[in-house]
Amino acid sequence: MKRPIRTLLQAPSVGLLFLWMIVPLAMTIYFSFIRYNLLNPDVHGFAGFQNYQFLWEDPAFVPALINTLALIGSVLIVTIVLGTLLAVLYERRFFGRNVATLLVIAPFFVMPTVSALVWKNMILHPVYGLLAHAFFAVGLTPIDWFGRFPMVSVIMILSWEWLPFAFLILYTSIKSLDREQREAALIDGAKPVQMFFHITLPHLKRAIGVVIMIETIFLLSVFAEIYTTTSGGPGTATTNLAYLVYSQGLQQFDIGIASAGGILAVVMANVVAFFLVRILARSLKGNT
Amino acid sequence: MKKCLILLTVLVTSICAFAAQTVTIAAVNNPAMIELKRLSPKFEAQNPDIKLNWVIVEENILRQRVTTDVSTGSGQFDLVFLGLYETPIFAKRGWLKEIKDIPASYDVEDVFKSLRDGLSYDGKLYALPFYGESSMLMYRKDLFAAKGLTMPEQPTYEDIKKFAAALTDKSAGIYGITLRGKPGWGENMAFIGTLVNTFGGSWFNMKWQPQIDTPEWTAAITYYVDLMKNYGPPGATANGFNENLTLFASGKAAMWIDATVAAGSISDPKESQVAGKVGFANAPIAKTPKGSHWLWSWAFAIPAKAKSADAAQKFALWATSKDYIQMAAADTGWATVPPGTRKSTYENADYQKASPFAAVSLKSLQTADPTDPCAKPVPYHGIQLVGIPEFQSFGTVVGQNIAGALAGNESVAQALKMSQAAAARAARQGGYQK
Amino acid sequence: MESSRSRSWLFGIIGWLVAIVLFFPIFWVAITAFKTEQAAYSPSLIFSPTLESFHEVFARSNYVGFALNSIYIALGSTLLCFIIAIPAAYRMAFFPSAKTQSTLLWMLSTKMMPAVGVLLPIYLLFKSAGLLDSVWGLIGIYTLINLPIAIWMSYTYFREVPSAILEAARVDGAGIMSQIWHVLTPMALPGISSTALLLIILSWNEAFWSINLTSSHAAPLTVFIASYSSPEGLFWAKLSAASLLAVAPIMVMGWLTQKQLVSGLTFGAVK
């Protein structure tokens, strides 16, 4: 194909994204270096690194970084492991499989705010939640999920929301597994576990790569679920970087701090992406 | 020629009649507001040239949207619902239109003075209060009677501890007391602010140095954490106003200290299982009665860049007038009219009959003074809050730390130390410490 | 064979168990929508159903207006996304250059700035451009934030298609556009459909930009939910009713397209 046409195909997307990235990025960088509080216009002028300093000297900053990584890692592991197992399970034919598939996919359609509210109030609440009633029924005291295990609770909610997505991608991929290859392996006397590790899993590598990439991008800036349930607490147990930017910047309408936080988040995200790409390099390039 | 003129006049007047002004209103989703929206077609019928456009969202989202809109002058809203916290801050910046030319029939003197002062800046009024609240103690008369206990007219926090101990029966699912525990500057900190005040503490001294790591705060927070741990429901750190309302209305708590507006829902047999069994008392005190109960109001304000400012003011005057209160009473009964704004409401015999909480609410509203909230002099206004923009942030951080102490994840001393540091950082960053 | 039949029975049980557990919270919301507010807090499955919450919701808000906005915005942005993304993905998948990998990664990196950090610059931009509270403004934003995903996923699915087929089409005299629309897209349809579904769901549920950049005219269902999510007083039945109404259109749509996606998937015409 001729060069100019190639470029033309790609140009709109690259051009648009470039503008979309550069303009807000430039504005954010600019705002991060000035003192700018929407509610306090008396405060203005060049701030140097003060806004950045305010954030990384915040005692919640390092916990926020750790929490962000822990959150992403945990949800990835849960959704991919369970998603793969489910995809393998659902590949078998069983009664009403199509309907069951629809049920499994359903959580992904629900708005994150609503998911968080439902989990917090209807299921996990230690006085009138469903789990509490179940505990009472067998004579145990219910667990105060958000008070004692805040991170676990948030991870539970996020995994519930994203498992359908992982399942869908992996399931679509499994369905494209070459039947002949599998039948040949069966004839050769391969056991199910062996088949799983030597045939199924390698085939799923690209799909798993897709899931990891997309989930990481979204989980890096997860906000609504934390905001609705724990407000980053108790203490800083569930504060991630996005929530920190909100609580220290946006909540008090300090645009300087919020912008500095945004830049810091981008830096962190790029570091994560760098390592991620290295790990996934093989499955991103080349055909299986 | 004459025919043309007549035709032209008819044309012009009919165009004018159809040129409706739209008033876009940003409001919060509380019951009084929902009721107002339901009754607003009556206003539209009286004023056919004004059309109302409602945007109703929950409190935190409303605050964010309105602040962004008003401070950048984007003119998305013509009428906004503001709290007692934002109004002076916005007015100082010139972002609100002054409420002028109030007709005598509106009787602005009837509106509580504390509210009018709280919503003014530099002697000028910038918002019309739709709803006002203070805080008080609600308790189960039936449970008290069963144990032979009586509530004094002005209880102290020592009394509360004794009552809670006597009334808690965890095996029966009854908790002596429930209080706000959900972190947020307007959530748990609203209550804790009043607790600290009455224990003799304050947020800042006159030099804007934070006063959190002090014996008064330590005493107050230790009391709070111990009380809740021993006599409060589990999962307290997730309980905000709503959750506590549910707990109390479903009969699980014997006492509850919170907003006077809760009384309406508690007394409504459709919404509450304990309607008719509830007594009301002044908010408890400890060392000083100052600042023991808060003052809050939601009021209508007009952004400076609003496109339909006159129509907006017209509606605001209508919604906060005595006539509207009569209308709401006729519609859903006196117990659920917008409370806490006018003396005339409380003087009304029907209101007093329908609302057993009227007397205590009135007293609380009249004695809450945001200009003199603490035992010691302070450089800020606000009983349960500090009237500076940075409060939304460090107030919530302190709330989170205290929730951490309540959940048992950190000690009270640790929580206070971290809170002190957060307040100090904010005061420095905001340029208050000279 | 007997063992495989009992095996498939076992799979069925486990499969259904998982499905029920995962679906249960949604089921609970669905039945709470039909309870009275008082009953909404009890865990009973038996109750007398009522439509009062739905009545209240319809009386209080203009549901249809919100829903229409959501539909326009979700479909509009997804369509626009694919119009721009597919040619780019085609180019990257079949004519990759040395810079393709890094371009893809750079595109994904545009999604790494948390929205909370960049809210105000965008708000100010929109204000100057007069795009506040407009459906097109939101379509524009959603197209931009979903574009990297559309490109990347299309790229991944295109790579599964052997270029031999396109070669064959080219030899037969097909031009670029014809290759893309008549040969490539049908083959990559399952992958493109799942990507489209993903994008529509993301746009439908996106709450941050939609709440902050709209007020009354362009407000989608996320704003509708925000008026039920945390008011004073009892609200569970109403929130459940509102959530059901907000989720229903997209769930129905998703389930309909799912059938095409999942059943009868055969990948690749070349073995």
C20/A103 touch (CB, cutoff 8 Å), yes or no: yes
Contact C231 B30 (CB under 8 A): yes
B240 lies within 8 A of chain A by CB? no
pLDDT digits (tens, 9 = 90+) for B347-363: 888 888 888 898 999 99
**Measured CA distances, C178 to A252, C16, C172 (Å):** 54, 44, 11
Alpha-carbon distance of B9 to B264, in angstroms, equals 53
Q: Do A232 and B400 touch (CB under 8 A)?
A: yes
Q: What's the mean pLDDT in C146-158?
A: 86
Residues of B in contact with C38 (CB under 8 A): 270-271, 273
Whole-number pLDDT of residue C265: 37
Q: Which chains touch B (3 or more CB pairs under 8 A)?
A: A, C
Q: pLDDT digit string (tens) for C75-101?
A: 999 999 988 888 888 888 888 887 887
Q: Residues 9-68, chain B: which have Cβ within 8 Å of A? A: 64, 67-68
Measured torsion, CA atoms of residues C166, C171, C174, C179, in degrees rounded to the nearest 10: 0
**pLDDT 10s per residue in chain A (288 long)?**
566 776 777 777 777 777 877 888 888 899 989 888 887 777 778 888 888 888 888 888 899 999 999 999 999 999 999 999 998 888 877 777 778 888 888 898 888 888 888 888 878 887 777 888 888 888 887 788 887 888 999 999 999 999 998 998 888 788 777 677 777 877 887 777 777 787 788 888 888 888 888 888 889 888 888 888 887 777 788 899 889 888 887 777 888 888 898 888 888 888 887 787 777 765 555 443
In DSSP terms, A254 is beta-bridged to A37
Enter the DSSP assignment of B210: B
Confidence of residue C117 (pLDDT cuts 50, 70, 90): confident
CA B274/CA B256 separation, integer angstroms: 13
Cα–Cα nearest to B390, from B118, B208, B124: B208
B36 — pLDDT class (breaks 50, 70, 90):
very high
A182 CA to centre of own chain: 33
Report the largest interatomic distance among the alpha carbons of chain B, rounded to a whole angstrom.
92
Whether the per-residue pLDDT at B277 is higher than 50: the answer is yes
Which chains does chain A touch, 3 or more C-beta pairs < 8 A? B, C
Using the structure block, give the residue that is written with the tokens 């609503």: A114
Distance from the Cα of B204 to chain C's closest Cα (Å) equals 30
What is the radius of gyration, based on Cα positions, of chain A?
Answer: 23
Calpha distance B304→A150 (Å, rounded): 43
Structure tokens given for A76: 């990835």
Torsion of CA A11, A12, A17, A23, to 10 degrees: 100
In this complex, do C20 and A23 lie within 8 Å of one another by their Cβ atoms? Answer: no
Residue B12: pLDDT over 60: no
Average pLDDT, chain C: 81
From the list C119, C120, C232, which residue is nearest B241 (CB)? C232
Pick among C215, C221, C238 to test the B interface (most B CBs inside 10 A):
C215
Identify the band that residue C119 occupies on the pLDDT scale cut at 50, 70 and 90. confident
Token digits of residue B334: 């006196």
In order, the DSSP letters of chain A are --HHHHHHHHHHHHHHHHHHHHHHHHHHHHHHTB--BTT-TT--SB-TTHHHHHHHTSTTHHHHHHHHHHHHHHHHHHHHHHHHHHHHHHHS--TTHHHHHHHHHGGGGS-HHHHHHIIIIIIS-TTTSHHHHHHHHTTPPPP-HHHH-HHHHHHHHHHHHHHHHHHHHHHHHHTTS-HHHHHHHHHTT--HHHHIIIIIHHHHHHHHHHHHHHHHHHHHT--HHHHHHTTT-STTTT--HHHHHHHHTGGGTBHHHHHHHHHHHHHHHHHHHHHHHHHHHHHHSS--
- Other CB atoms closer than 10 Å to residue C248's CB: what's the count? 13
Q: How far is A261 from chain C (nearest CA, A)?
A: 6
Q: Give backbone dihedrals phi and psi of B300, rounded to 5 degrees, phi first.
A: -90, 125
Beta-carbon separation of C190 and A10 below 8 A: no
- Paired tokens of B127: 């918002």
**Is residue C262 within 8 angstroms of chain B, CB to CB?**
no
Sign of the torsion angle spanned by Cα atoms C79, C84, C87, C91: negative
pLDDT for residue A50: 85
Asked if A230 contacts A146 with a C-beta cutoff of 8 angstroms, the reply is yes
How many Cα atoms occupy the beta-carbon half-sphere of B103 within 13 Å?
Answer: 10
Query: Do residue B34 and residue C127 have CB atoms under 8 angstroms apart?
Result: no
- Within 8 A of A119 by CB-CB distance, chain C residues are 25
Among residues B260, B258, B259, B251, the alpha carbon closest in space to that of B233 is found at B251
What tokens were used for B227?
């009380």
Contact call for B31 and C233, based on CB within 8 A: yes
Buried-state track C62-90, b at ≥16 Cβ within 10 A, e below 16:
ebebbbebbbbbbbbbbebbbebbbbbbb
Q: Do B238 and A253 touch (CB under 8 A)?
A: no
Picking from B231-240, B328-337, C41-50, which range would have the lowest pLDDT averaged per residue? C41-50
Q: Give the integer Cα–Cα distance in Å for B401 and B414.
A: 8
Q: Do C215 and B261 touch (CB under 8 A)?
A: no
Count of alpha carbons within 13 Å of C214, Cβ hemisphere only? 31
Per the DSSP assignment, residues forming a β-bridge with B281 are B137
> What is the secondary structure of B269-316 as a DSSP string?
TTT-TTTTSEEEEEPPBSS-STTSS--EEEEEE-BTT-SSHHHHHHHH
What's the 3-state SS for chain C? CHHHHHHHHHHHHHHHHHHHHHHHHHHHHHHHCCCCCCHHHCCCCCCCCCCHHHHHHHHHCCHHHHHHHHHHHHHHHHHHHHHHHHHHHHHHHHCCCCCHHHHHHHHHHCCCCCHHHHHHHHHHHHHHHCCCCCHHHHHHHHHHHHHHHHHHHHHHHHHCCCHHHHHHHHHCCCCHHHHHHHHHHHHCHHHHHHHHHHHHHHHHHCCHHHHHHCCCCCCCHHHHHHCCCCCCCCCHHHHHHHHHHHHHHHHHHHHHHHHHHHCCCCCCCCC
DSSP 8-state secondary structure symbol assigned to residue B372: S
Residue linked to tokens 């055909």: A287
Which positions in chain A have a beta carbon within 8 angstroms of at least one beta carbon in chain B?
37-43, 50, 54, 57-60, 120-121, 125-128, 141-142, 144-148, 229-237, 247-248, 250-254
Lowest mean pLDDT among A75-84, B216-225, B380-389: B380-389
Complete edge-to-edge strand list for the sheet that includes strand B253-259:
B175-178, B253-259, B135-140, B278-282
